[in-house]
Amino acid sequence: MAGFLDHWLEDRMRLSTRPGTYECYALNIRKHIVPALGKPGLRTHTRAG
């Protein structure tokens, strides 16, 4: 999951958002989202529903 989010940040958000917005996204992803999801890969998580 962390790899996917890093890719999303770099390839999708870096050029389409202001630098401050990008930094805020990056900080929140690295400090809160990735630790909350843990280390498993993207395929180990299942879709809700």
Cα gap 16→44, rounded to integer Å: 29
Going from N- to C-terminal start, the domains of the chain cover 2-40
Does residue 49 surpass a pLDDT of 80? no
pLDDT recorded at residue 1: 76
4-40 burial, b for 16+ CB within 10 Å, e for fewer? ebeeebeeeeeeeeeeeebeebbeebeeeebeeeeee
Start-end of H helices in 1-49: 2-8, 19-28, 34-37
Higher pLDDT, 49 or 7: 7
What does the pLDDT look like over 2-48, one tens digit per residue?
Answer: 888 999 999 999 999 999 999 999 999 999 998 888 766 556 656 66
| Euclidean distance between CA atoms 49 and 5, whole angstroms | 22
